[in-house]
Amino acid sequence: MDKPKVVLGVSGGIAAYKACELLRRLTESGHDVRVVPTASALNFVGEATWSALSGHPAVTQVWESVHEVPHVRIGQQADLVVVAPATADMLAKAAHGLADDLLTNTLLTARCPVVFAPAMHTEMWEHPATRENVATLRRRGAVVIEPAVGRLTGVDTGKGRLPDPDEIFEVCRRVLARGPRAADLAGRHVVVSAGGTREPLDPVRYLGNRSSGRQGYALARTAVARGARVTLVSANSELADPAGADVVRVGTAVQLREAVLKAAADADAVVMAAAVADFRPARYATGKIKKKDGEEPAPVELVRNPDVLAELSAGRARPGQVVVGFAAETDDVLANGRAKLARKGCDLLVVNEVGERRTFGSTENEAVVLGADGSATEVPHGPKEALADTVWDLVAERLC
């Protein structure tokens, strides 16, 4: 079989050096990569590096090898175009259809999925012009992944870093695997909660649960690859931030509720994969609770936490918003799932059986997704990303 053809567009930002690593990952995993740098990208990394690493000449202008009509051919033949780093200038040109060099021509002729991995200073990313350009590109079906937060050029820190090349590679792999169906969530905002809440008793102890966050993180990663703008509300997970998602970290159920409701205000879909504690200690001891010789331990009084899923379902922030819950059950899995779906009022409920060695902390899962319309979709035992993709398939069918 032919190797998948990838165009790696590189625009002129300091993060261009990280694209060398992305190029290596792509070529070493069996992709045929053409690098198309802009003239300014060559100020950061030279033509020799791109050619040597890709095994193809790295051309910036349409005037070289004109007989091969490169400005049309490279884009037409590609299975994927990934622009990393994508500068504010590149996003603006792509959004407005300008074509003054080989990369911008290629973006106009490509009919395959296109991924932009922006990198710039926070002010440039937040500028209304850039916001609008990104929204335009997403509406048209491009996958624009959110920049990471961290150290920028010089001494600044903030949002605008190019995500890790390994992470961009994973996004590319997922987008390629989906082929032309790639960006069915483009232009959509989705919110995913993940992990497990911790309800503090005192400064050192809490009531918690065993959720690792893996299923929620898989939902966030797959939604990024399907083109969505993703807000991941993460409760106490130790997993690395998924590339391309906005991550909001929370601790308790009350904090999770606040973050989810805020993000849900303009969301097309909300998926509650987090294990939210149903109860919290009625009182928080500001000093560590000490044992006293000869005294019985004091009972812990609990109060109910808000039910975020039920609240989201009852008061949809926008018409047509799709709300998805998860149910972890140990017995009577389907009957309990149906009853929970009705009780919570959500559109879809992912029901999985849990036990000592099942689901928690595992990279695999098996579930049935129940729909409020009476549907039941069985998802066989497999990677959590496969279950995540089925959830997004069912969400995409329900989005209007």
Q: Is 307 annotated as a binding residue?
A: yes
- Sketch the per residue contact string, 138 through 167, with ligand CTP: x for CB under 6 A, - otherwise: ------------------------------
User: Which of 309, 341, 348, 351: binder of ligand CTP (CB under 6 A)?
Assistant: 309
Tokens of 117: 């991995």
110: contact with ligand CTP by CB under 6 A: no
Does 328 participate in binding ligand CTP (rule CB under 6 A)? yes
Q: Is 211 in the site for ligand CTP (CB under 6 A)?
A: no
Terminus-to-terminus CA distance in the chain, angstroms?
Answer: 38
344 CB-near residues (< 8 Å, 6+ apart): 307, 309, 310, 313, 325
C-alpha span between 116 and 366 (Å, rounded): 33
Q: Which is nearer to ligand CTP, 289 or 342 (CB)?
A: 342
Which active-site residues does the annotation give?
Answer: 209
Do the strands 157-161 and 148-151 form a parallel or antiparallel pair, or are they unpaired? antiparallel
Total residues contacting ligand CTP by CB under 6 A comes to 14
Helix (H) or strand (E) holding 205: strand 205-207
44 is in an annotated binding site: no
- Of the listed pieces 19-27, 121-129, 223-231, 302-310, which binds ligand CTP according to CB under 6 A? 302-310
Spatial separation of the C-alpha atoms in residues 10 and 21, rounded to whole Å: 12
Residue 169 among known ligand-binding residues: no
Q: Which is nearer to ligand CTP, 300 or 314 (CB)?
A: 314
Element of type H or E holding 193: strand 189-195
To the question of whether residue 288 is assigned a binding role by annotation, the answer is yes
Q: Three-class SS string for 130-172?
A: HHHHHHHHHHCCCEECECEEEECCCCCEEEEECCCHHHHHHHH
Radius of gyration of the chain (CA): 24
Cα gap 251→207, rounded to integer Å: 11
Of the candidates 35, 103, 112, 272, which one interacts with ligand CTP according to CB under 6 A? 272
Which one, 158 or 306, has the nearer CB to ligand CTP? 306
Please report whether residue 253 would count as binding ligand CTP according to CB under 6 A.
yes
Among 325, 379, 389, 398, contact with ligand CTP (rule: CB under 6 A) = 325
State whether residue 354 is helix, strand or coil.
coil
Q: Closest CB to ligand CTP among 45 and 391?
A: 391
Q: Which stretch binds ligand CTP (CB under 6 A): 150-158, 234-242, 321-329, 355-363?
A: 321-329
Closer Cβ to ligand CTP, 202 or 311, answer by number = 311
Smallest gap from residue 274 Cβ to ligand CTP (A)? 5
CB neighbours of residue 210 within 10 Å: 12
Q: Which residues touch 355 (CB under 8 Å, ≥6 apart)?
A: 330
Please tell me whether 344 is known to bind a ligand.
Answer: yes
Encoded tokens for 60: 């910036």
Check residue 327 for interaction with ligand CTP (CB under 6 A): yes
By the rule CB under 6 A, 340 interacts with ligand CTP = yes
Q: Is 278 annotated as a binding residue?
A: yes
Closest CA to 245 of 233, 236, 232: 232
Q: Is 307 in the site for ligand CTP (CB under 6 A)?
A: yes
Stretch that binds ligand CTP, among 139-147, 243-251, 306-314, 355-363 (CB under 6 A): 306-314
Strands (E), 51-168: 80-86, 114-118, 143-144, 148-151, 157-161
| Nearest-angstrom CA–CA distance, 148 and 132 | 19
Q: Is 33 annotated as a binding residue?
A: no
Burial group, residue 201, by CB count within 10 angstroms (0-12, 13-18, 19+): middle
Binding site listing for CTP: 278, 288, 306-309, 326, 340, 344
Q: Which parts are annotated binding residues?
A: 278, 288, 306-309, 326, 340, 344
Residues that bind ligand CTP (CB under 6 A): 253, 272, 274, 276, 278, 305, 307-309, 325-328, 340
